Amino acid sequence: MIAPERCSCVVSASLRVAAAEPRRDGSWGCSGLLLDRKRGLVLCHGQIFFPFLRQAQQDPNRQPFLLPGAFHPDLQIHIQFPGAKSRAQPQPRLPLATHHAGALAAESESSQLDYSPKRPSLTDGVVKAQSCSQAEMLMMFPCPEFRDIFQTLFNKSDKWQFYSEDNEEELQANALDLVWFALLRCPGWVNGDTVVWGENLLYVRSERLMKGQPLFCCASPFASFCNDIFMNTFSKGIVSNLAGERNAMILTDARCLPGTEGGGTYIISQDMYYLAGLIVAPLCWKANEWVGLTLVCSVTCILEAIGRIVNGFEILGPPSLTALGSQGLTRLLGSVVLLESGRVWGSGVLVSPRLIITCRHVLDQAATVRVKIQSGSNGYLVLKGRVVFATKKNSAYDVALVELEEDHSLTEIPTIASEFKMGDDVCVIGYGVFGRACGPSVTAGVLSAVICMEDRPVMLQTTCAVHAGASGGPVFRTKSGELLGIVSSNARNNLRGATYPHLNFSIPITVLHPLLSAYCRASDATVFEGLNKENKQLHALWTLRARTSSPRRSKL
């Protein structure tokens, strides 16, 4: 495959509105993608345009798409990008109070993403020169497949909130606004002195994505503020989960910031970058708890939505990849189980064909639980499990052991780790957030701390994003697939009521492995009773108190 020297550009847009209508006065920003250089076509997120709808179009979700006439006639859009010549003249960067007084205006910026056959460094996105071009709205449209899975997963009863960089209250009036995208055209890029860079974008069909794949995001955070600094910012994570028809919804643990809406997410294959999706919501909360995952819409579904509207209009070249994914991670996914006990549910990991380790609080004092093991991409094998041991509530360790009624020999049992190295790449697999609907999620990070007592590891700390429902799930060493421990808890600020998904604590497998071996030999659950032994120092550690004698209550 011949790698085009430059095959994509990332754009960031910011809308600035004068006081022609006071309720619309404000500034909005997002990122976007240059899809077709020859025709000057740009794709971005549509949410920033909703404040400029005419009064008669205030319920757009009943429309299949919106044309320019649905928006305020004075709406202007400008896209700024580096290093390309254009007849469009850059607009002066004036304070909001004096910028295009008496008219609606939009200003946007863009930057180039180098698609040479090498992986990017953190300085590849440094911008030295920028040009600005005025754009026109072609249409705004929803992605039906993304909308369907969005309505299924994001229930109003869960109190989901999605943060936008600007004017949070107005932009969050309707969460379904998140499923809309806008197709723009920049006439200045197709006339006269325009410089055309290489070929069109390469992309990968979302059906070929797999959990655990490395994923890059490239966008412009804080798009309406100081793009000279923030434009073309890289972030790295993995594909955490996939949901919906043709994997219309992609969840990633790549850290993205406000203003990156509309930016691209990319998969690497053979040192080439392939567009996988567009960022929809970089920050979201469930019942006032930060989730720590970025919501992405499949570019495959977006392009097909455009094609349905304009009768087969093709923007990008055909997918070039035949397979993507991590077979090692697929093997690990099979060892993670979903445990259900009434209305309580959580995760666990198979450590033998019949034994599952999990957390005590996942079982909710039940004697039996329903165990679900993912079988293939769409189905589950449902088994019955018997609780053979659970630590007491006053124990420092939150541990339980579940035994299946029959051996499950279809899953490869993970290798047990014997040592821990701070800084190692790790991943957590569990049924958090959307786990019951989409299967286990995967988040990546590093082993950030190994806490020891009497020279023995008693607690592991990782930077992986962990959510409710992931308790009992395994922590694996990414490189080798070794089982390091099971997730027990993450940190919560009791004073503010905020949970920190990227600060979590796990029980080292070295604490449990000798006991598991003894149980497998004798089938005697009393071998675990040592976990209930009172240890004030260990108990203080697991309740996040620095000193056992301190009268102050920990805020975590």
Give me the active site residues, please.
361, 398, 471
CA geometry: angle 294, 298, 302, nearest 5 deg: 125
Q: Determine the Cα–Cα distance for residues 82 and 127; give it in Å rounded to an integer.
A: 7
Q: Alpha-carbon dihedral of residues 148, 211, 470, 422, nearest 10 degrees?
A: -150
Q: What is the DSSP string of 441-501?
A: EEEEEEEEEEEEETTEEEEEEE-S---TT-TT-EEEETTT--EEEEEEEEEEETTTTEEEE
Q: Determine the Cα–Cα distance for residues 223 and 217; give it in Å rounded to an integer.
A: 15
User: Which structure tokens are listed for 419?
Assistant: 């040592």
The greatest distance separating any two alpha carbons of the chain, rounded to the nearest whole angstrom, comes to: 83
Helices within 100-196 (DSSP H only): 144-153, 168-171
Q: Determine the Cα–Cα distance for residues 228 and 232; give it in Å rounded to an integer.
A: 9
Helix (H) / strand (E) element for 361: namely helix 360-363
Q: Is 392 exposed, middle or buried (0-12, 13-18, 19+ CB in 10 A)?
A: exposed
Radius of gyration of the CA atoms of the chain, in A: 26
CA dist list (Å): 412 to 132, 241, 356, 415, 482: 55, 21, 13, 9, 12
